[in-house]
Amino acid sequence: MPDRSPQHTDQPLASATQPTAAREEVPASSGRGTALRQAQDGPQTAPPRGGDAQRCGGEHCDLLVIGSGAGGLSAAVTAAHLGLKVIVAEKDPQVGGTTAWSGGWMWLPRNPLAVEAGIHEPIEEPLAYLRHELGERFDEARARAFLDAAPQMVQFFRSQTALRFIDGNAIPDFHGRTPHASLGGRSLCAAPFDGRRLGPRIAELKPPLPETTLWGMGIASGAELRHFFNALRKPASFWTVTKLVLSHWKDLLIHRRGMRLVNGNALVAALAASAFEAGVDIRTRSPARKLLRDGERVTGAVLTTPDGPVEVHARRGVLLACGGFPHDDARKAALLPHAPTGKEHHSAASRGNTGDGLRLGETAGGQVATGGLQAAALAPVSLVPRADGSFAHFPHLIERGKPGLIAVTRRGQRFTNEADPYHDFMQGLLAALPAGEPVQAWLVCDHAFMRHYGLGAAKPAPMPLGPMLANGYVKTGRTLAELARVCGIDADALTQTVRRYNTMALKGQDADFTKGETPYNRMQGDAPFAAERGWPNACMGPLERGPFYAVRVVAGSLGTFAGLRTNAHAQVLDPQGQPIPGLYAGGNDMDSMMAGHYPSGGITLGPAMVFGWLAAHHMATPATADAASPSSGRHQKPGEAGSAVSLDGTSPHPH
């Protein structure tokens, strides 16, 4: 196999961690001078579409990013800070993809916020955790690349861009029984972001998924969410919620949308603001339809824009970040055994994520990896009727672990630990169902639970429950037997299951599925409320007084895991394992380094941010520039890399 990698040189390039003003000036022909001027001159408007650009054979940049979620924007912002001229093409009318709907949590072990709080751990600790979790699928090269770069990526973004983080120092890994699991310090969330910083361009930001908001207001996880649950029980919570709601209504009046952005919406807003400020040219309604190639090298893409097709030529590389294949029925049918036609899998991911990136990558010789344990980040999803006749896909991430809820199949039996992570919950359901049976279960609770925590898209008191009963989303019965009949569940079995569960809940021990025994379970529970009621287990309370309620959940996901095979620089690999020159993948277009496992919260957004940062550094190396130059005849051995200098003067590239 010919060696097609670019030549390694040891000349440092401007670091993405250096302030813009301190960066070296470079010849405009490299593209870096242009970007540097753009960054210094402030935000740029997009160059005219079509027109001259089209007449002279398209437009030119250093990096073309396809997709504007975390995977794409991390690379775009980093590359712009490294002096590259960057264009981001987005298919949707707004920026942000699934990332804008997400919790915004990123698994980033050894991050600076943890270190500053005194949580120090050697790289071997998270590595060992991953090794235990992933078993034979553990890819040490990529895991080390990720863990090496994660702290540098965080330091770059928090010191050089608009993105700020809040710590996850009390957030445990998912599987507390696995050796080297952490009790906290391995994750971060995007800090709340003031949407006014985006100015009129806030209109380009995708709002949160409406069903997960209160009148369009996102609710941050953790303390803020607890205030909402306790709003009718505790004066301090009532006051906090009242202030948040009043401020949101004020924003609605003035700006016609909420401006206090939280979770994944804050992440995208901060990344988009950083991109605009660094001169990145983001184009919405511009899906990439085809890759341009010069021999084996990928040199750009054809975008379908509102003004017609435009060829964008990218000197250093094209990064595919289209968010995987959550809405590509053909690929779902091929890779998800529980979805024989693809339609049986109802992903909560953004609807524009129809597998374009994977298909584009394949046209250039890339391969979609199929060896993972699961091809998607599974989650139970309920189908929420909307006024226009469509259904929102609501992922059940929060209420399953609270005391007073159980999940049963149509046989009326529990099948797993309801407080376990969503991916595990779904694996438990898939394992419990006979082959060929539709993948569905019911989350069941009593009236007190429903009004305290809500159930899926049905919100707690004082929000009215009536509309969700009227549209059939929530099923109800005065007794468990009546509820069972409405849902098509075995009534005797459900009654017996609840009786047994209630006994276990009062003892605080789940003899069937050990609910409440891991740190993650307990975090998902509600220890103060359980204690008030005299329930010894933070995740277990009896289902006592009717009316009882149920919501049906089906197979879904937060996104997909199977993606284009890449190396530690995020370069897409051909079937022989060689990098395809000029082609990179990010976010869920990249095969997940977790190989279908789900060891902790944030394991898609964390790697999306880190590998985007790594890809940008790789593209910015002189070696990559040389290789991209038509006059260059130099080659690099596989595994060699360029040498962009990073935060602490070390190479950001893995070894």
Ligand X SMILES: Cc1cc2nc3c(=O)[nH]c(=O)nc-3n(C[C@H](O)[C@H](O)[C@H](O)COP(=O)(O)OP(=O)(O)OC[C@H]3O[C@@H](n4cnc5c(N)ncnc54)[C@H](O)[C@@H]3O)c2cc1C
Stretch of 1-9, 439-447, 461-469, 596-604 lying at the interface with ligand X (CB under 6 A): 596-604
CB of 378 to ligand X, least distance (A): 12
78 binds ligand X (CB under 6 A): no
Which of 17, 36, 87, 92 touches ligand X (CB under 6 A)? Answer: 92
CB of 526 to ligand X, least distance (A): 20
Helix intervals (H) in 310-406: 329-335, 356-363
Stretch of 49-57, 350-358, 410-418, 490-498 lying at the interface with ligand X (CB under 6 A): 350-358
Stretch of 110-118, 320-328, 488-496, 630-638 lying at the interface with ligand X (CB under 6 A): 320-328
Q: Give the pair of three-digit tokens for residue 163.
A: 């993105």
Give the H/E segment covering residue 282: strand 281-283
Whole-number Å distance between alpha carbons of 441 and 236: 37
Q: How many CA atoms lie within 13 A of 114 on its CB side?
A: 25
Q: Give the pair of three-digit tokens for residue 635.
A: 């080659």
**Buried b or exposed e, range 340-363, using 16+ CB within 10 angstroms:** eebebbbbbbbebbbbbbbbbbee
Which of 97, 126, 456, 542 touches ligand X (CB under 6 A)? Answer: 97
Which class for 432: exposed (0-12), middle (13-18), buried (19 or more C-beta within 10 A)?
Answer: middle
Stretch of 78-86, 98-106, 250-258, 383-391 lying at the interface with ligand X (CB under 6 A): 98-106
CB of 557 to ligand X, least distance (A): 8
168 binds ligand X (CB under 6 A): no
DSSP codes joined into one string, 137-158: G--HHHHHHHHHHHHHHHHHHH
Q: Tell me if residue 247 falls in helix, strand or coil.
A: helix
Whole-number Å distance between alpha carbons of 270 and 264: 10
112 binds ligand X (CB under 6 A): no
Q: What's 458-488 look like in SS3? A: ECCCCCCCHHHHHCCCCEEECCHHHHHHHHC
Residue 541 or 602: which CB sits closer to ligand X? 602
Whole-number Å distance between alpha carbons of 321 and 317: 13
Which of 321, 368, 530, 564 touches ligand X (CB under 6 A)? Answer: 321
Residue 264 or 477: which CB sits closer to ligand X? 264
Whole-number Å distance between alpha carbons of 196 and 258: 10
Residue 270 or 480: which CB sits closer to ligand X? 270
Number of chain residues interacting with ligand X (CB under 6 A):
42
406 touches 414 (CB < 8 A)? yes
Which of 15, 30, 64, 67 touches ligand X (CB under 6 A)? Answer: 67
Give the H/E segment covering residue 182: none
Report which residue's Cβ sits closest to ligand X: 69
Whole-number Å distance between alpha carbons of 329 and 253: 40
Residue 287 or 412: which CB sits closer to ligand X? 287
457 binds ligand X (CB under 6 A): no
Whole-number Å distance between alpha carbons of 185 and 129: 14
CB of 208 to ligand X, least distance (A): 9
Q: At a CB cut-off of 8 Å and minimum separation 6, what does 67 contact? A: 88, 89, 90, 91, 97, 320, 321, 322, 323, 357, 586, 587, 589
Residue 150 or 487: which CB sits closer to ligand X? 150
Q: Which of residues 218-277 bind ligand X (CB under 6 A)?
A: 264
Residue 552 pairs in a beta bridge with 442
Q: Which of residues 286-315 bind ligand X (CB under 6 A)?
A: 287-288
Q: Which of residues 551-590 bind ligand X (CB under 6 A)?
A: 558-559, 587-588
621 binds ligand X (CB under 6 A): no
CB of 345 to ligand X, least distance (A): 13
Residue 377 or 406: which CB sits closer to ligand X? 377
Q: Give the pair of three-digit tokens for residue 22.
A: 């301190």
* Residue type present at position 195: G
Which of 258, 395, 403, 582 touches ligand X (CB under 6 A)? Answer: 395
Which of 13, 14, 66, 458 touches ligand X (CB under 6 A)? Answer: 66
Q: How large is the C-alpha radius of gyration of the chain?
A: 25
Stretch of 97-105, 153-161, 253-261, 461-469 lying at the interface with ligand X (CB under 6 A): 97-105
Q: Which of residues 186-215 bind ligand X (CB under 6 A)?
A: none
Residue 96 or 642: which CB sits closer to ligand X? 96
CB of 324 to ligand X, least distance (A): 6
Which of 15, 18, 99, 367 touches ligand X (CB under 6 A)? Answer: 99
Stretch of 65-73, 109-117, 271-279, 365-373 lying at the interface with ligand X (CB under 6 A): 65-73
148 touches 123 (CB < 8 A)? yes
Which of 32, 60, 81, 91 touches ligand X (CB under 6 A)? Answer: 91
Q: Tell me if residue 274 falls in helix, strand or coil.
A: helix
Residue 510 or 589: which CB sits closer to ligand X? 589
Which of 204, 344, 356, 399 touches ligand X (CB under 6 A)? Answer: 356
Please tell me what DSSP assigns to residue 11.
-
Closest CA to 327 of 154, 97, 139: 97
Whole-number Å distance between alpha carbons of 152 and 642: 17
Stretch of 19-27, 62-70, 110-118, 164-172 lying at the interface with ligand X (CB under 6 A): 62-70
Which of 6, 31, 69, 366 touches ligand X (CB under 6 A)? Answer: 69
110 binds ligand X (CB under 6 A): no
Entry field: residues in the chain: 655
Site residues, ligand X (CB under 6 A): 66-72, 89-92, 97-99, 101-105, 264, 287-288, 321-323, 348-350, 352-353, 356, 395, 558-559, 587-588, 601-605, 608
